[in-house]
Structure 1
Amino acid sequence: MIPINKFRYQEVILLGLGRSGLPALHSLLCGKTKVIAIDDNLQNVNIGGLAGMLHQQAISERNLIVNPSIDQINFKNISAVIASPGIPLTYPKPHPIIEKAKQLNIPITSDIELLYETCTKSKYIAITGTNGKSTTTVLIGHILKYAKQVVQVGGNIGVGALQLEPLDSNGIYVLETSSFQLALLNKVKFDIAVFLNLTPDHLDRHRDFDSYKAAKLKIFENQKSDDYAIVSIDTLEMQKIFDYLAKYGKQKIIPLSIQKITENGVSIIDGVIYDNITPNVQKEFEIKELKRLPGEHNAQNIAAAYAAAKINGVKEEIIVEAIKSFKGLEHRIELVLEKGELKFINDSKGTNTDATQNALKAFNNIYWIAGGISKDQGIECLSHLFDRLKHVYLIGAAAPKFAEVFKKYNIPYTCAGTLKKSLELIKESNINSGVVLLSPACASLDQWKDYEQRGNSFKEIVKEMWND
């Protein structure tokens, strides 16, 4: 935990008490800040342990006020508003506190900004992209730790920035950054900024694709000539971003590709890393048959992690050793169980069709469990991969809509309704080869608290049914 002393004996508003908000509250109170904490879903907030004791003490000493009405707040006394990533800044409409702060020119900041202002001597590596950023973030952290560097990993991955340990000039923060987090940044400068890919997402919170893209591009803001941008160039949209940075940016740029060998960049083709970061010197390393990092999308993640680690001074051979020792990331094409020739894969983090497409590309003979709350254009955009399917088990709110698509393409399907029922049907069918894949292409909130609970339930049921 990182105490925040910037607002010592001053008063701030903290918006949101989730995974980033609660650690921020703890950090502010430890720094003797008076906090007005506001959360529109206070009944879901879990305050426990030592942090809970601290908060109760702060309430009794009137250093913490929870959920007052906006009329009860004296904004003249407010030094800053610290907003969690889930708080709307502009669209579909700003949170009333944000709107009031803008009217009165009260600074709006975030936990990542406060971390950056507090641990000023540390190095910062940030990762963004529509998909793959969690795996890449953890993989970079794994490689750097394997190389005996001092590392803390957090951000959007589930560990709040202020929940991390304080680091000095020898330390490196590796942060997964969402569009919501990037939109909140002002002065943060990342030493290494990684941008993996970009497709439409979260358009319920961004006015349109251009607004979503603009938020993502803030990862490169404030970078200087000794900083690095690592950018995939395998789509037209990402090539445009690379070209823009090459023309207008001050930072050094490292291109990534899984389609071609790039000049001055890193490529992965057919299980071989091609390192051309040093001009006119190509190094090659074989990384075939990585069970924990299957698929083309993971090749992109590996290329990005390789580039970030090399820039950070890790020897190439050590990077490759670390990649081969990586055990994968929970809920991201996670191998749960192998029962003879039957594999069970948990890809509960596949909450949109782009993410699920990566999972489908990685396997054949798939028994696919899909459904939930559909976030985008539906399932038909994946029809070019339907020949990989043996049967589809549909769950959640999107099941009727998805069923129409599979009926159209003559793909065998069952509207199972629930995850447990899907697995019961698979068990009853005596399937003994292929891949049972949970990759819903949907959000989880119709039946689960979040994708993690959904994925954990899948793993528990699979192990209960198949671990004889």
Structure 2
Amino acid sequence: MIPVTSFAGKTVAVFGLGGSGLASCHALKAGGAHVVAGDDGAERLAEAAKAGFITADLRTVNWSRLAALILTPGAPLTHPAPHWSVLMARQAGVEVIGDIELFCRERQRHAPDAPFVAITGTNGKSTTTALTAHLMKVAGYDTQMGGNIGTAILSLEPPRKGRVHVIEMSSYQIDLTPSLDPAVGILINVSEDHIDRHGTLEHYAAVKERLVAGVQSQGTAIVGVDDIWCRASADRIEQAGKRVVRISVKNPLPDGLFVDHETIWRASGGARSEIAKIGGIGSLRGLHNAQNAACASAAALALGVAGDVLQKGLRSFPGLAHRMEQVGRRDHVLFVNDSKGTNADATAHALSSFGDIFWIAGGKPKAGGITGLTEYFPRIRKAYLIGEAAPEFAGTLGATVPHEISQTLDVAVENAARDAQASGLKEAVVLLSPACASFDQYRNFEIRGTKFRDLVQALPGVKPVV
């Protein structure tokens, strides 16, 4: 745990008592703060009370006595309307921040030179975070990984010299971290997502940019420049005097890191040198994972990792569950769990990685649906549509792609496995990459992906992929 000493002797409200909220309560208490815990759910309030914290309906407390509101990233800060606790805090002149802001303040107070890598992007941030942490561990660093990837940041060990924190950040978390100042910041990409919480794509992109714009004066901003939003961000940050490393998987660069023929190259002044090879690494299959690998490699190089260690780390990376996870094989049929493909852009990466696909898609639809995936339709032998999005997706596929409305995942897996087995193809891929949120049928994408894995592994004759 990281004790939060910056509010010692002061009273702080914490709203949202999930994993990161409870971790904030414990860290603030350990640092000497007085904590008032609030939540809209009775069960979470009861859990906090059981853990020894004062709980209250924050609508009834005296806000003039509060030094800060620590807000869960799940509660809206600006759009579609600020959460009621945000409105009350602002009316009382109380700052509204998140748990990663508490970490940043502790690092600034106690170990400002401790390595801190912060990572964001519309897609790929979890894989890039896990890969960066893996590379640093292979290089011998005491590595702490957390944030949006699963472990609350304040549950990690405190910052200190020689210990690197590798932290995934959502746009919601960036919004709540005004003092964000990583030694290395990574912005992988920006595409349309979370507009309901940011109002416009322009505002969403601006929030993402803040992570790399805030790098320390001697730090490194790593920016993927294969979309217009990030290209503009890289230019602005460089003009502000920060060190920028540009990343591309689409075009060679005169300066920066780029991927060409499954090799990561570093360019300087137009001259190139080989950094690492990523061909044949199953956990880094596909152009999107090449982008992730290049970003993570740039971070490791910025922190002094040697080239031979970098190559060793890339080859030994096991990958992440629910992200292009190869969960089984039966004869010529490969089953791939990409449940984390919760929007069309993420699913495009998965579809581009295979040839003959029996595609399971659907769930709670997002803006735009799958209209942006038409260039990949020739790769799809048949689609199996589930959840709320099934009728909409069927309309988009039309007569171009054979499809059925399976409704549920168990039916989709059974039918896709049967059709792939009977296809006679040299390699057929049953791919779960929903291009949708899971919330219509599953609480989160992890539960959806685990269900897929279980269904696949229960099929007769399925063996692990080695």
| Short-chain TM bin | over 0.9
Which deviates further from its counterpart, 273-282 or 358-367? 273-282
| 2:241 aligned with 1:253 | no
Match of 1:458 in 2: 452
Which string of whole-angstrom CA distances, capped at 9 and with x for unpartnered residues, describes residues 396-446 of structure 1?
00001111122242x111111100111122344461640000000000000
Contact 1:224 1:250 in 2 (8 A): no
Q: Matched residue of 1:282: which SS?
A: strand
Match for 1:89 among 53, 63, 77? 77
- Displacement, 1:76? 1.5
Match for 2:93 among 98, 105, 117? 105
- Displacement, 1:284? 4.7
- Displacement, 1:45? 7.7
- CA gap of 1:166–1:225, structure 2 versus 1, over 3 A, is closer
Alignment-mate amino acid for residue 450 of structure 1: N
Distance in 1 separating the partners of 2:330 and 2:90 = 57
Match of 1:405 in 2: 396
Match of 1:262 in 2: 253
Q: Matched residue of 1:256: which SS?
A: strand
Alignment-mate amino acid for residue 101 of structure 1: A
Match for 2:354 among 343, 359, 363? 363
Match of 2:277 in 1: 286
Match of 1:25 in 2: 25
Alignment-mate amino acid for residue 392 of structure 1: A
Match of 2:167 in 1: 175
With the length of structure 2 as denominator, give the TM-score of the two structures.
Answer: 0.93
Match of 1:78 in 2: 66
Which string of whole-angstrom CA distances, capped at 9 and with x for unpartnered residues, describes residues 191-215 of structure 1?
1111111111001111111111111
| 2:16 aligned with 1:3 | no
Match of 1:240 in 2: 232
Match of 1:439 in 2: 433
- Displacement, 1:277? 5.6
Match for 1:207 among 190, 196, 199? 199
Contact 1:366 1:435 in 2 (8 A): yes
Q: What count of residue pairs does the alignment treat as equivalent?
A: 454
Alignment-mate amino acid for residue 12 of structure 2: V
Q: Matched residue of 1:283: which SS?
A: strand
Contact 1:15 1:81 in 2 (8 A): yes
- Displacement, 1:326? 0.4
- % same residue: 36
Match of 2:149 in 1: 157
- CA gap of 1:416–1:259, structure 2 versus 1, over 3 A, is same
With the length of structure 1 as denominator, give the TM-score of the two structures.
Answer: 0.93
Aligned positions of 1:355-434 closer than 5 A: 355-409=346-400, 411-429=401-419, 431=421, 433-434=427-428
Aligned positions of 1:3-82 closer than 5 A: 3-43=3-43, 47=47, 55-56=49-50, 58-59=52-53, 64-66=54-56, 68-70=57-59, 72-82=60-70
Distance in 2 separating the partners of 1:131 and 1:45 = 33
Aligned positions of 1:120-199 closer than 5 A: 120=108, 121=111, 122-199=114-191
Contact 1:257 1:267 in 2 (8 A): yes
Distance in 2 separating the partners of 1:243 and 1:407 = 42
Match of 2:223 in 1: 231
Q: Matched residue of 1:373: which SS?
A: coil
Distance in 1 separating the partners of 2:355 and 2:8 = 58
- Displacement, 1:69? 5.0
Q: Matched residue of 2:354: which SS?
A: coil
Alignment-mate amino acid for residue 65 of structure 1: T
Q: Matched residue of 1:318: which SS?
A: helix
Distance in 2 separating the partners of 1:6 and 1:379 = 47
Match of 2:208 in 1: 216
Distance in 2 separating the partners of 1:461 and 1:393 = 15
Distance in 2 separating the partners of 1:159 and 1:337 = 28
Distance in 1 separating the partners of 2:166 and 2:144 = 6
Distance in 2 separating the partners of 1:260 and 1:69 = 52
Contact 1:266 1:277 in 2 (8 A): no
Distance in 1 separating the partners of 2:320 and 2:150 = 13
- CA gap of 1:454–1:57, structure 2 versus 1, over 3 A, is closer
Contact 2:257 2:298 in 1 (8 A): yes
Q: Which runs of 5+ in 1 are unaligned?
A: none
Alignment-mate amino acid for residue 413 of structure 1: H
Distance in 2 separating the partners of 1:467 and 1:30 = 53
Contact 2:17 2:44 in 1 (8 A): no
Alignment-mate amino acid for residue 215 of structure 2: Q
